[in-house]
Amino acid sequence: MPSFGAMSAITAAVVGVVLNLAIWFGLRGRLMCPLPSLSLPSLVLTLLAAIAIFRLKMSVISTLLASAALGVGWTVFVS
């Protein structure tokens, strides 16, 4: 059975790789998609989801479901 120190090191390495990839693709997507092409409803939905998760401590599943419902509602009734 591996020690907890080894498991922590492996977990830290995996988190580092995922973070590195997120930053890489985020910057690459940002450079390919300039600011004026941002969608205001998607930006508002992203901010609401972040507030729901970090401030209101809602679960990821309930936030995902609510975001999906709001996105579908926006597409059906507004667009």
pLDDT in tens, 8-46: 888 888 888 888 888 888 777 665 655 566 778 888 998
Provide the pLDDT confidence category of residue 66 given band limits of 50, 70 and 90: very high
Same domain, 42 and 79: yes
Same domain, 1 and 31: yes
- What letters, b where the CB count within 10 A reaches 16 and e where it falls short, cover 21-32? eeeeeeeeeeee
CA angle 41–44–49, rounded 5-degree value: 125
Same domain, 43 and 79: yes
Report the alpha-carbon distance of residue 75 to residue 61 in Å, rounded. 21
Same domain, 6 and 16: yes
Mean pLDDT along residues 46-75: 92
Same domain, 77 and 45: yes
Domain that holds residue 25: 1-36
Sign of CA dihedral 7, 64, 55, 41: positive
- Cα-flanking dihedrals φ and ψ of residue 11, to 5°? -60, -45
pLDDT of 3 reads 66
Domain count of the chain?
A: 2
Same domain, 30 and 4: yes
pLDDT of 33 reads 58
